[in-house]
Structure 1
Amino acid sequence: MRICKGASDRSGLVAVIFFMLGMGTLLPWNFFITAMNYFTDRLKNGTSSTQTDTYMFGNMSVLLAQLPLLLFTLLNSFLYQQEDAHCWQHDLHINVFPAITINTKPSGLFDGKDNIFVPVCSFIVFNVMDWIGRSLTSRLQWPSMKSHSFPFFVVLRVVFIPALMLCNIQPRVYLPVFFNHDMAYIIIMSLFAMTNGYFACLSMSYAPQLVRPKDAETAGALMTFFLALGLSLGAAFSFGLKIIL
């Protein structure tokens, strides 16, 4: 196979393609997830707004949105017999966001402003902080590529699951509300999103460097598959988290 070395993207065409790909993927996704409360209320058919989400519309939407991605990345990948921290990274992400956090209610800074609380404090905060985390990797790459602490810090992010579930998410039956104030939720969401972007970007950049140059393309394809697998598993696990809430 012929390999072209020293190729450059002077016109920025590759950057534009990736930008348009991201817009085409994330724009309709955000249209749906920011309107989950509307669809949930429609499914209640005029009953009490405090009624439990019988249909689990948010969880189901997140799960179904990930399955086509999982299917096509599976078809595009060659499976290796190895574990991948990247799968765990995105499993943690989609466990609680957005299927669980969409039901967070304001208490404090946004009292009486339910219509803007979730769009601002969940979606804008998450996407901005996720972008900051990804951008940070251009200046800082820690832990290093071969560091044994890298998987440890990825797994350590599991603490964000109970932290977010103990925020003012309603309705709830079993768990108490521990972080009631809006500022606590914003801080937890910010750290959750920034570490998600940071470690996800590091995972994607480290993987092709850990294999032989001829296997770098396959490693990249595998990382995409594990991303989709993690998102799908996280979406499936979110049903259980919703039940114990």
Structure 2
Amino acid sequence: MSRRSPECDYSYQSVEDDHTNNATISTSRTKGDARVQGIYFMLGCADLLPWNALITATPYFLKRLTGSSLQPTFVSYMSCIFTGVNVIALAYATLTSKQTAVSPSRRIVSSTVVLVILIALLFMTTFVRFPPSIFFSLVLLITVGQVVAASYHSAAISGEASLFGGPYMSALISGQAAVAVAVSALQLVSSALSVWGTSTNSGQASTMLENEALDTAAESAARVLFGISALFLIATVVSYCWMRQLPIYKSTVSPQQQHRGETSEENEELQRLVGSEPSFKPLYELDEMQRVFKANLPYEFASLYCFVITLAVFPVITVQTQSTNPSIHPLLFMAAHFLVFNIGDLLGRYACSIPQLVICVQRARVELGSTTDPLIPSDLVYMIILLFLGISNGYISSSSMIGCASLEHNPRLKGRREDVDVAATLNNFCIITGLAVGSAASFSVRAMLCDCNPFKG
């Protein structure tokens, strides 16, 4: 009777262990690893945190620009610069995502660290007074830096999360909406505390809240917002670095990175032994990206058109709307309107996880007009309109994002797993393009509604 040698026993046991580990990882990937989903949720929050922090801190920026000719058009300029630079930076990040030796994980870490530094700079501006022109330039310069970092971050995480599958993409998209709700809720609470605290310390509240007290309230709210945002980004990058050590992450992402020319320590050792050089041949050429882009045009157009309509009116136009109730403070009303829209956006994104609500999107008609008197003299109706604007925005954008990167639901991919992360990255680029076009259109919409030319200062 033959007997296996110790070496054979060891090899046999190693094979069994490998099969067990692979089965465990496969099951986790199918059912969803809660730890990984949670961190992609955090990464989704970090993805849109710079944008949400900027637009939610609009009252602070506008109060710092009081009396300046730059104040009326600041929001439009900030939106155009943010989204315009985003298109250029994201286009480059998308085109090089498959052609660079730098892995998506490294891009995620480095871009998040840059965002921490820039958010911290915004936090510091709340302690220092600048002339309006210098403050205007400083904020826009920080905005440009945030855009570039956020573009690389966005391209990397959308492609990486798509490799894990639908549950992880849903976690990422939900995080993008949840951060908007959290930021706007934080802004509302901090604004309320600032306003109420000031009103109790002044016998002439109506006068103070319109001048110095209003400036102080907006400043305090922005300080809390920027400070907590920086701390959250730090927690996100630490959590992501921890996630990269998990077996499910290595088994899902590492093969893709090695296919694109990146090598592990074992492969590098092997290359030194055989005397071969590592190959950095791009996995994807430009014509292959064009093929994926053309195949997914319906999804990409839906994403682009959705955000063109949204950004044309929100927040550039909606932030100028005032309450019909004079007892409601303007700062609180503005913060509440951000919260209502973002709650709607979160509900719309969550609806995509309910199969019965995944239906075809019908065409919508949008009509704009201007008048000196409110067309709808009701704050409640206005908030309901904002809520449904947010719901439609979240539903359409999430449906297209999840659908375009799904081998199960998108027959246009033809079962090509190597096209999944490319499709997700290209669709994300169309979202940013829609944001840029909508922001540019906001100048014309604002001129039409307000009977003024924003280019005349």
Q: Distance in 1 between matches of 2:39 and 2:358?
A: 30
Q: CA deviation digits over 1:59-101, x for unaligned, max 9?
A: 1111222234322331215343446221101111211111211
Aligned to 1:198: 395
Count of residues in Structure 1 that have an aligned counterpart in Structure 2: 217
Match of residue 344 from structure 2: 129
**How many angstroms apart in 1 are the aligned matches of 2:87 and 2:356?**
28
Distance in 2 between residues matched to 1:137 and 1:201, nearest whole Å: 7
Q: C-alpha distance in 2, partners of 1:135/1:95? A: 24
Identify the residue that residue 375 of structure 2 maps to in structure 1: 178
- Whether 2:422 is the aligned partner of 1:221: answer no
User: Match for residue 170 of structure 1?
Assistant: none
State the shift of 1:139 in Å.
1.0
Unmatched tracts of structure 1, length 5 or more: 47-51, 167-173
What SS does structure 2 have at the residue aligned with 1:8? helix
Residue in 1 aligned with 2:73?
56
Report what 1:74 is aligned to.
91
Tell me, in whole angstroms, the C-alpha distance in 2 between the residues paired with 1:16 and 1:221. 21
Cα–Cα, structure 1 residues 118 and 68, in superposed 2: closer, same or farther, change >3 Å?
same
Contact 2:302 2:397 in 1 (8 A): no
Report the CA distance between 1:175 and its aligned residue. Answer: 6.4
2:28 aligns with 8
Which protein, 1 or 2, shows the higher relative CO under an 8 Å CA cutoff with sep ≥ 6? 1
Deviation at 1:17, TM superposition (A): 2.9
**Structure 2: which amino acid aligns with 1:134?**
R
- Residues 106/55 of structure 1: CA separation in 2 closer, same or farther (3 Å cut): closer
Cα 1:141/1:213, change in 2 over 3 Å: farther
Q: Return the letter of the residue paired with 2:354.
A: R
Identify the range of structure 1 (72-81 vs 177-186) with the bigger mean alpha-carbon deviation. Answer: 72-81
Residue 238 of structure 1 pairs with residue 435 of structure 2: no
User: Quick one: structure 1 residues 6 and 65, their matched pair in 2 at CA, closer, same or farther if it must change by over 3 Å?
Assistant: same
Rate the CA distance shift 1:16–1:7 in 2: closer, same or farther, 3 A: same
Question: Following TM superposition, by how much is the alpha carbon of 1:57 offset from its aligned partner in structure 2, in angstroms?
Answer: 0.3
Question: In angstroms, what is the RMSD of aligned CA positions?
Answer: 2.8
5 Å matches for 1:77-226? 77=95, 78-79=289-290, 80-81=293-294, 82=297, 84-108=301-325, 111-120=327-336, 122-140=337-355, 142=357, 144=359, 150=361, 153=362, 155-156=363-364, 158-159=365-366, 162=368, 177-208=374-405, 209=410, 210-214=412-416, 215-226=419-430
Which of 1 and 2 has greater Rg?
Answer: 2
Q: SS of the counterpart of 1:98? A: coil
- Aligned-partner SS, 2:64: helix
Amino acid of the structure 2 residue aligned with 1:112: I
Name stretches of at least 5 consecutive residues in structure 2 with no aligned partner: 1-21, 96-288, 450-457
Q: Are residues 142 and 136 of structure 1, via their aligned partners in 2, closer, same or farther at CA, if it must alter by over 3 Å?
A: closer
Name the % identity.
27
* Kept after mapping to 2: 8 A contact 1:141/1:202: no
Q: Under a length normalisation based on structure 1, what TM-score does the superposition of the two structures give?
A: 0.76
Deviations 1:129-174 (A, max 9, x none): 1111111111135564xxxx53xx2x41x52x63xx66xxxxxxx6
| Distance across 1 between alignment mates of 2:49 and 2:413 | 34
Name the structure 2 match of 1:35.
57
